[in-house]
């Protein structure tokens, strides 16, 4: 099959990373991981060093607009949304509004 789905598990990834035959294929790829948690979301990039076989993981800074318009960059995005005026806030900006009374 030309476009067969790839089933990936942690065990398969570790086995592939430690296999000398698969190192060239893994070292030329970047993997994106998104953890949609109950209270926060995190996005990470994983890459394998072709020479050492070491896998590095880097959490990405995600820009989040605050209620006052300033931007906050953080690796954690709170699972919160808020509609205020004509603005939809996602993450830290929405979470900051949780104790403010709604505007009329």
State what percent of residues in the chain have pLDDT above 90: 42
Domain ranges of the chain: 8-60, 62-104
pLDDT the model gives residue 84: 85
Q: Are 77 and 62 a contacting pair, CB within 8 Å? A: yes
Can you give the pTM of this predicted structure?
A: 0.64
pLDDT digits (tens, 9 = 90+) for 49-73: 878 878 889 999 999 999 999 999 9
pLDDT tens-digit map of 4-27: 544 445 555 555 555 565 556 556
Q: Which of 11, 21, 18, 9 is nearest to 48 (CA)?
A: 18
Long-range contacts of 8-11 (CB under 8 A, 24+ apart): none
């Amino acid at each position: 099959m030309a476009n067969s789905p790839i089933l990936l598990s942690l065990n398969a990834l570790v086995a592939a990373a430690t296999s000398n035959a698969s190192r060239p294929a893994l070292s030329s790829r970047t993997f994106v991981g998104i953890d949609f948690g109950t209270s926060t979301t995190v996005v990470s990039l994983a890459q394998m060093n072709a020479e050492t076989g070491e896998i590095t993981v880097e959490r990405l800074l995600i820009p989040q607009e605050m209620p006052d318009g300033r931007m906050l960059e953080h690796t954690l995005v709170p699972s919160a949304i808020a509609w205020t005026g004509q603005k939809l806030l996602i993450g830290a900006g929405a979470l900051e509004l949780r104790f403010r009374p709604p505007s009329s």
